[in-house]
Amino acid sequence: MRRSCVAVCVLLAVALLMGLSGCSGDEGTAVTSSSATTMPAATTAASATTVSIASTTSSTAASTTGPEATTGTSTSSADAGWQKVVEMSGSGTGEQTSELFELSGAPARISYSVKADTIWTMAAFVEPEGWDIQTQGGFPDVWESEKTEGSETLDQEAGSHFLYVTAANCDWAVVVEEQK
């Protein structure tokens, strides 16, 4: 019940911010994943910008019509031992869902970075395969409207998961990593 209430509050806050800013939610988004699992994605974009998270690299995509899979990982000496599992980024207001990805049960974390010039909010959820966030709700692993970057420990069992991000009035990037 609590997870549903929090998810509804997050969605209402995003809807309110969308209405106040006059955004339609059609801004661009880029998605990357290290999983080979395919899952339909409703991602279309005219342009997408990836904002940097801590020490990961930043890039710009001119046109994205769906999720792009990546198999490489990039970690710095400060993040030694952490391997990227999935990364998503977007701009403006809306919601995005990643492809399915696997967590092995090793320690995991979710990191985020946000750039905004106005009032904003961003919530990110890591949920197991088969979970319907629209009807079952969820408790966000990250829900922020002040701190522009950070990291939280994930408490997820091994198995297939997806990343769901809802945001308003910001450029954002979210990365899920596992300790190797």
pLDDT at 113: 98
d(CA 161, CA 157): 9
User: What residues of the chain score a pLDDT lower than 50?
Assistant: 20, 24-52, 54-77
Phi, psi of 85 (to 5 degrees): -105, -45
**Contact by Cβ (8 Å): 179, 82:** yes
Residues 123-153: pLDDT tens digits? 999 999 999 999 999 999 999 999 999 999 9
Taking the C-alpha atoms of residue 128 and residue 33, their distance in angstroms, rounded to an integer, is 16
pLDDT at 80: 77
Q: So what's the pLDDT on residue 150?
A: 97
CA distance 84 to 33: 9
Question: Which of 29, 32, 19, 27 shows the shortest CA–CA distance to 96?
Answer: 29
Determine the pLDDT at residue 124: 98
Q: Do 58 and 51 touch, CB atoms closer than 8 A?
A: yes
Collect contacts of 8-12 with beta carbons under 8 A, ≥24 apart. Answer: 8/137, 10/121, 10/123, 10/140, 10/143, 10/166, 11/166
Distance CA 148, CA 60 (A): 20
Q: Which residues pair with 121 in a beta bridge?
A: 168
Q: What share of the chain is helix, strand, coil (3-state, %, to 5)?
A: 15, 45, 40
Dihedral, CA atoms, 97, 37, 175, 7, nearest 10 degrees?
A: 30
